[in-house]
Amino acid sequence: MADIQSNSSATHGKSISRRSTRVDLTPMVDLGFLLITFFVFTSSMKQPTVMQVDMPYDKVIDPTPVCTSCVLTVMLDKDDRILYYEGALENHPVVKETGYSADGIRKVLIEKKHAVQLARGRADAFILIIKPSDESNFKNFVDMVDEVTINNIKRYYMDELSNADKQLLAAQKPVLQ
Amino acid sequence: MGRAKLPRKSTNIDMTAMCDVAFLLLSFFILATKTKPPEAVAVLPPSSVSTRVAKEEAIMVTLTKDGKVFLMLGDKAHKDAIIEDINSSRQLNLTPAEMAKLKKLDFIGVPLNMLKGSLDLSEPIKPENMPGIPCGDSTNNELVDWVRSVSNSYKGESLENLNLCVKGDNLAKYPAYKNIKSAFKKNDIFKFKVVTNPEGVPADSELARNPPAPAK
C-alpha cells in the first residue's frame, strides 16, 4: 500500500492498480486477545484481607471465676505441633498432641465445645487458652485464631507459657520424636 | 424442477469490530488494575477466613521471616507528623534536608541511631540489607517510640482512623510478633489488624453455617 509509483507514465489514466484499503485485522485481534489473556492472568485479583485482633485491657483483672472443666489449654509447639490439655494443670490432665489439619485441632475444639454445651447447658462457657511457645511461628498463631473464628468460640485468651507448661513441652519432646 | 440456489457468501468476516472490542477490553484491564503499593521486603502472610478487606495507606508494621521489623507510615499528612514527632522526641537533630528525604521514604528499616547516617548516604541502603527497627525485649524496643509518635499524630482524631496493621511472614517466630504486640500495648493501643491472605471457609464448620454479618 505504501508503494511509490516510480513509473511516471503510470500516473496518467487507468494503469494505477487500485488496491483495496481493507486490511486483514485477524492477526491484530489475535494479538489483542493474547494481551488481554496475559493481563488477566498476571494481575492478582485478590486483595489482602485483615484479621482484627483486640487485646484485652489487662491492667484490670477480671475476678470472675471460671469453671475449670470448661477450659481447654492449647500450646503451640515447634514444627506445627499442638499440645493440649483440659482443665487446670494442677490436676495432672492428660496431655495430647494434634496438628493444624481439619481432623486435628478443629475436631478437638468441636468436641470440647460440645462437651461443655452438654455439661453446662451453654456453649459459650467454653474457654480456650492459647499459649504459643517461643518456637512456634506467626502462621501457627494466625491459624489458631482462625480456628477460633471458624468454630465460633466466644472466649479465648492468649497467654504465655508458664514454667510448668514449659516443663511439660520439654517432657513431651523425647517421647514424640 | 430446479433447486433453489443458495447464495454464496464470502467467508471473510469484517474483523474491525472484533479488534475494537479486544483493544477496548485490553485498555479497560490495564487501567482498572491497581499497581501494588511499594513493599519493604517480600513477606508471605498467612491465610485466614477473614473477609475484611485491608484499607489502603495503613500504618504497616512488617515482620520478615528473619525477625526484622519495618515500618510504613501511612498517608502523607500523618507520615509528616510522625516524623516531626520522632525527631523532636528522640532528639535526632535531623536537618530540614534530611527530614525531607526521610518523608519521601516508603518505609523505615534502620535503627534510630543509624537514621541520620543512612539519610546522608548518596546511595540508599537496599531493603534486604537493612537491619530493621530494633524491636527486642523491653530494653531495646525502638518500635515503642515509633508507635508513640504514631499515636501522637492521631491525637484528637477518633482511634477508628488509626489503621494499624501487622503483616507478618508465615515463618516469623512468635516472640518477634509478641514484641510488636507489646510495643502497641505500651502505647495503650489494644486494637490492630493482622494482614492475611483470603482463604475459603471450611464447609460444614460453624462459621459456614452462621456466616457473620459483612463488615463495613
Encode A89-126: b = buried (16+ Cβ within 10 Å), e = exposed: eeeebebeebebeeebbbebbeebbebbeeeeeebebb
| Among the partner residues B26, B50, B169, nearest to A50 by beta-carbon distance | B50
Mean pLDDT of the B30-37 span: 73
Residue B123: Cβ within 10 Å count: 5
pLDDT-derived band of residue B60, with 50, 70 and 90 as boundaries? confident
Question: In this complex, do A149 and B46 lie within 8 Å of one another by their Cβ atoms?
Answer: no
* Cβ under 8 Å to A: B residues 38-77: 45-55, 63
ipTM of predicted assembly, 2 dp: 0.73
- Where along chain B do its domains lie? 47-198
Does B192 have pLDDT greater than 80? yes
Q: Pick the more confident residue, A59 or B89.
A: B89
pLDDT of residue A162: 79
Q: Characterise B156 by phi-psi region: left (phi > 0), alpha (psi -120 to 50), beta (else).
A: left
Measuring CA to CA, how many Å separate A52 from each of A122, A145, B18, B196?
26, 10, 47, 10
Residue of chain A whose alpha carbon sits nearest to that of B180: A138
Does B115 have pLDDT greater than 80? no
Q: What is the pTM of this model?
A: 0.72
Does B17 have pLDDT greater than 80? yes
pLDDT of residue A10: 45
In chain A, residues with a C-beta closer than 8 Å to the C-beta of B22 are 28-29, 32-33, 36
Tens digits of residue pLDDT in A20-77: 777 788 888 888 889 888 888 877 666 777 877 777 776 666 667 777 778 888 888 8
- What does the alpha-carbon distance between residue A156 and residue A59 come to, in Å, rounded to a whole number? 18
Please, what is the average pLDDT of chain B?
78
| Selected residue of B16, B20, B50 to mutate for chain A interface (largest A Cβ count, 10 A) | B50
Question: In this complex, do B52 and A51 lie within 8 Å of one another by their Cβ atoms?
Answer: yes
Encode A138-147: b = buried (16+ Cβ within 10 Å), e = exposed: bbbbbbbbbb
pLDDT-derived band of residue A1, with 50, 70 and 90 as boundaries? very low
Does B177 have pLDDT greater than 70? yes
pLDDT of residue B45: 80
Please, what is the average pLDDT of chain A?
76
Does B167 have pLDDT greater than 60? yes
| Selected residue of B55, B206, B207 to mutate for chain A interface (largest A Cβ count, 10 A) | B206
In which element (H, E) is residue A65 found?
none
Residue with cell 518505609: B107
Instruction: Pick the range with the lowest mean pLDDT from A23-27, A157-161, A170-174, B116-120.
Output: A170-174
Instruction: Pick the range with the lowest mean pLDDT from B122-126, B145-149, B162-166.
Output: B122-126
Tell how strand A127-132 and strand A71-76 pair up: parallel
Q: What's the gap in Å between the CA of B33 and the closest CA on chain A?
A: 7
Q: Using CB atoms within 10 A of its CB, is residue A59 exposed (0-12), middle (13-18) or buried (19+)?
A: exposed
| A–B CB contacts, 8 A cutoff, strictly below | 155
Mean pLDDT of the A118-129 span: 79
Identity of the amino acid at A159: D
Q: Pick the more confident residue, B130 or A143.
A: A143
Q: Write down all domains in chain A, each with its CATH number in brackets.
A: 68-176 (3.30.420)
* CA torsion, ordered B140, B141, B144, B147, to nearest 10 deg: 130
Tens digits of residue pLDDT in B130-153: 777 777 776 777 778 888 888 887
Query: Which backbone phi and psi does B19 adopt, to 5 degrees?
Result: -60, -45
- What does the alpha-carbon distance between residue B19 and residue B35 come to, in Å, rounded to a whole number? 26
In chain B, residues with a C-beta closer than 8 Å to the C-beta of A135 are 173-174
Question: In this complex, do B194 and A57 lie within 8 Å of one another by their Cβ atoms?
Answer: no
pLDDT-derived band of residue B216, with 50, 70 and 90 as boundaries? very low
Half-sphere exposure of B151 (CA within 13 A, CB side): 16
Mean pLDDT of the A7-32 span: 71
Does A8 have pLDDT greater than 50? no
DSSP string of A128-176, one letter each residue: EEEEE-TT-BHHHHHHHHHHHHHTT-SEEEE-PPPHHHHHHHHHHHHHH
pLDDT of residue B123: 75
pLDDT of residue B151: 80
pLDDT of residue A62: 66
Tell how strand A71-76 and strand A82-86 pair up: antiparallel
Q: Provide the percentage of residues in chain B whose pLDDT is more than 70.
A: 91
pLDDT-derived band of residue B36, with 50, 70 and 90 as boundaries? low
